[in-house]
């Protein structure tokens, strides 16, 4: 989807897939560590923790970070499994605070993209169904979490195991709600784009989803003005803060998406190459792209950056196609089951690329 790996922590190769954790997610982890410690202090629940020390807040910050990371991994695993079942491939995963920042390589078919986009919210819904009964047996008030997702009360009360279950339920509920928003970079926006694609065309669908994202940002800003924290209660995280941050994220990502379409770089995403269109989008003749803006320093810089990305992607394609010959020789010698996960992932990527070429 985007070249976000340069702002990410490399976590190595897992099953033939390069995994990165984006810097924004690392900042969220740091923020949760800080706010968990502040929450312990401000709400004065040391008597519940049976220790009375502020250092216990870091335990809950680490627990929240681990639970969120696990939920995000489930989210991306669902995308990857569905994508591979539908003929796509996954060679890179970049974990962000709201999900992945890199789409699987898929054939350009709206129905398949809808299925892949729906897999993320679906796995969170299934997690809620699995966690709900366990929490109800512990007499946890699920309505408090469901009706107050921005600030559920008594999240840290109880034994550590129960707190972990409540956090898992809360994070999956938040990720489900956020990813249903019809805005760019979210699963709801990707699903809406795929639904509108056959009717409005790819670029028209992107413009409509971007406008939807801007409208949602406006609604969130209005909610931030309307909603107020309970009187005489000071909270570590004011209720308006997550709403405003989410609104800024949606507005600027939607604005960049509109600018990208206006520049007729339909195969680019917010920060570069759009992997949702497959490698074949680089093969479009340059004459098919209309230039709606006069040349300027920023425009020339963007063009040069795009040309560098295209050259790099062509080099990657050529190298992978050369390596496919070597892999096919090994298939003849040891069979498909004797290949390493990386080799099988390579064959899936190149196969998906060939299918895209035949469809274009």
Contact 168, 69 (CB under 8 A): no
Q: What is the pLDDT along the chain (360 residues), one digit of tens a residue?
A: 444 556 788 888 888 888 999 898 999 999 888 887 777 666 554 444 444 444 467 888 899 999 999 999 999 999 999 998 988 888 889 898 988 888 888 877 888 999 999 999 999 999 999 999 999 999 998 998 998 888 777 788 888 899 999 999 999 999 999 999 999 889 999 999 999 989 988 888 999 999 999 999 999 999 988 887 766 555 667 888 889 999 999 998 898 888 877 774 444 443 444 444 443 344 444 444 444 444 456 566 666 666 776 777 777 878 888 888 888 887 887 887 777 777 777 787 887 777 776 665
- Predicted pLDDT at 105: 83
> What residues are paired with 14 via a beta bridge?
17
Secondary structure element (H or E) that encloses residue 111, with its range = helix 110-137
- How distant, in Å, are the alpha carbons of 17, 295, 320 from that of 327? 17, 45, 10
Phi/psi for 348 (5° steps) reads: -65, -40
User: How many other C-beta atoms can be found within 10 angstroms of the C-beta atom of residue 229?
Assistant: 14
CA distance 285 to 20: 33
- Predicted pLDDT at 275: 40
User: How many other C-beta atoms can be found within 10 angstroms of the C-beta atom of residue 291?
Assistant: 10
% helix / strand / coil in the chain, to the nearest 5?
Answer: 70, 5, 25
User: How many other C-beta atoms can be found within 10 angstroms of the C-beta atom of residue 52?
Assistant: 8
- Predicted pLDDT at 44: 52
Strand order in the sheet with 8-14: 8-14, 17-22, 92-96, 99-100
Handedness of CA 286, 290, 296, 302 (dihedral sign): negative
Contact 187, 121 (CB under 8 A): yes
CA distance 281 to 105: 12
Buried b / exposed e along 198-216 (16+ C-beta atoms within 10 A) = eeeebeebbbbbbebbbeb
- Predicted pLDDT at 5: 57
CB neighbour list of residue 78: distance below 8 Å, 6 or more residues apart: 119, 120, 122, 123
pTM of the model: 0.71
CA count, 13 A, side-chain hemisphere, 153: 8
The H-assigned helical ranges of 227-296 are 240-262
Nearest to 125 by CA among 146, 154, 101: 146
CA distance 94 to 20: 5
Contact 229, 243 (CB under 8 A): no
CB neighbour list of residue 109: distance below 8 Å, 6 or more residues apart: 359
């Amino acid at each position: 989807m985007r070249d976000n790996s340069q702002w990410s922590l490399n976590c190595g190769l897992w099953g033939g897939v390069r995994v990165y954790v984006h810097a924004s997610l690392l900042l969220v982890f740091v923020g949760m560590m800080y706010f968990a410690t502040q929450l312990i202090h401000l709400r004065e629940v040391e008597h519940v923790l049976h220790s009375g020390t502020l250092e216990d807040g870091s335990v809950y910050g680490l627990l929240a970070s681990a639970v969120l990371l696990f939920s995000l991994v489930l989210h991306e695993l669902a995308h990857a499994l569905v994508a591979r079942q539908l003929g796509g491939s996954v060679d890179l995963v970049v974990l962000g605070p709201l999900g992945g920042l890199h789409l699987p390589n898929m054939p350009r078919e709206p129905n398949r993209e809808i299925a892949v986009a729906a897999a993320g919210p679906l796995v969170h819904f299934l997690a809620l169904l699995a966690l709900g009964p366990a929490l109800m047996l512990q007499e946890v008030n699920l309505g408090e979490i469901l009706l107050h997702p921005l600030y559920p009360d008594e999240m840290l009360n109880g034994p550590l195991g129960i707190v972990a279950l409540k956090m898992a339920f809360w994070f999956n509920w938040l990720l489900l709600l956020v990813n249903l928003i019809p805005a760019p970079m979210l699963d709801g926006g990707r699903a809406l784009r795929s639904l509108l694609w056959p009717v409005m065309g790819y670029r028209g669908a992107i413009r409509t989803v971007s406008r939807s994202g801007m409208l949602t940002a406006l609604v969130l800003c209005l909610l931030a003005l309307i909603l107020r924290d309970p009187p005489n209660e000071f909270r570590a995280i004011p209720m308006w803060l997550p709403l405003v941050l989410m609104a800024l994220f949606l507005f600027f990502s939607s604005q960049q998406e509109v600018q990208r379409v206006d520049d007729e770089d339909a195969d680019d995403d917010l920060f570069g190459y759009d992997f949702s269109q497959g490698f074949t989008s680089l093969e479009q003749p340059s004459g098919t792209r209309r230039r709606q803006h006069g040349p300027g320093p920023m425009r020339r810089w963007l063009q040069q950056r795009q040309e560098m990305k295209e050259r790099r992607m062509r080099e990657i394609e050529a190298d992978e196609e050369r390596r496919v010959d070597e892999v096919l020789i090994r298939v003849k010698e040891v069979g498909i089951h004797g290949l390493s996960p990386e080799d099988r992932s390579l064959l899936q990527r190149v196969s998906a690329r060939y299918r895209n070429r035949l469809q274009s």
